Amino acid sequence: MTVRVVLVDDQSLFREALATLLSVRDDIEVVGEAGNGEEAVRRCAELAPSVVLMDLRMPVLDGIAATRRLRAEQPGVRVIALTTFDDDEDVFAALRAGAVGYLLKDVSSARLVEAILAASRNESVLQPSVAAKVVARFAQLPADDRPRPQPLVVPLSDRELDVVRLLADGRSNREIADALHLAEGTVKNHVTNVLGKLGARDRTQAALRARSLGLL
């Protein structure tokens, strides 16, 4: 199935470059563009994309507010923040607003494509530096605010531990597969098992839960 993508950025030249880069892919179709968050919400309602690449700092309505509105009005749309900035304020605001991914604009084309495909599969993809921020922020919480570590009913296997550690670094399924010399489908099965055993709804929550259990 072709992944329908909307590009949102206030720089038209950057949108054009992204559209050109993605046009060579048979499995990705750029169905629309927007220059600000307000236009993005409107265009997504018209075009029903699977994934939105969302800049954060834009006029009229910024990317974080637009992401929040999309989550409320069009929950099936997956937003990847694609920005120049990775300061804590932007990172955590975007994730709280509902972004399933956070990448910087210097990301490689291969990594960007993989992130789009991963988001279309309801996977979360974070820039490694961003994943580290998420785990570090959780580790800094006061002890009384942390979930108390509980033994897992069904412990993670050694291979599942390898997977969750790479997952916490923001690696995609394909990157985990390459690192562990496994088939991507096998990694996907491991990720599903990890989420189930940790009682996590997504990859980010799995990383945080693994951290609370001392697995990272």
Put residue 197 in one of left, alpha, beta given phi > 0 → left and psi -120 to 50 → alpha.
Answer: alpha
Helix (H, G, I), strand (E, B) or coil at 45: helix
For position 147, what pLDDT does the model report? 47
Domains of the chain: 3-126 (3.40.50.2300), 142-212 (1.10.10.10)
The number of beta carbons lying within 10 Å of the beta carbon of residue 101 is: 28
pLDDT in tens, 155-203: 788 888 899 989 888 888 889 999 999 999 899 988 988 888 887 878 8
DSSP 184-212: HHHHHHHHHHHHHHHT-SSHHHHHHHHHH
For position 80, what pLDDT does the model report? 95
Strand 125-126 relative to strand 3-8: parallel, antiparallel, unpaired? unpaired
State the Cα–Cα distance between residues 107 and 157, nearest whole angstrom: 32
pLDDT in tens, 85-118: 877 788 888 888 889 889 999 999 998 998 999 8
Q: Can you tell me the mean pLDDT for 208-216?
A: 80
Task: Provide the mean pLDDT of the chain.
Answer: 86
Residues 55-58: contacts with CB under 8 Å, at least 24 apart: 55/8, 55/9, 55/10, 55/11, 55/81, 55/82, 55/83, 56/81, 56/83, 56/85, 56/90, 56/94, 57/10, 57/83, 57/85, 58/8, 58/9, 58/10
Gyration radius (Cα) of the chain, Å = 17
